[in-house]
Amino acid sequence: MLNKKYFWYVMMAGSIVLFIFLLYLGRYLFPGDPFLSRIFFLALLLSHVVEILMFSMKIGKEKQIPATMIVMKTLLYGFTWWVPLKMGVIER
């Protein structure tokens, strides 16, 4: 299953859905506080920034992918982008 492109594409779509869900979850849990309502979203975004620094930049450079694309895809998809890239399941 991990060697199938479609599995990873579904996971990438799930990453986007998770971002949207966390925005709405925060608004529901903390309706009166704009900062706290976005705390879950910001935490996920921060984890993706850490992934850029620790993993995806190195893997992307090895595959000769431009830095801007590496950053954008990691921010959007996180590990669901760079893990299949490292495994050779996807090309970009």
pLDDT tens string 8-25: 999 999 999 999 999 899
pTM for the model: 0.89
Whether 56 is in a domain gets the answer: yes
Confidence of residue 92 (pLDDT cuts 50, 70, 90): confident
Whether 92 is in a domain gets the answer: no
Whether 23 is in a domain gets the answer: yes
Classify residue 22 as left (phi > 0), alpha (psi -120 to 50) or beta.
alpha
How many structural domains compose the chain? 1
Q: Are 3 and 89 in contact (CB under 8 A)?
A: yes
pLDDT (0 to 100) of residue 3: 94
Range of the domain at 61: 5-87
Mean pLDDT of 21-43: 91
Whether 10 is in a domain gets the answer: yes
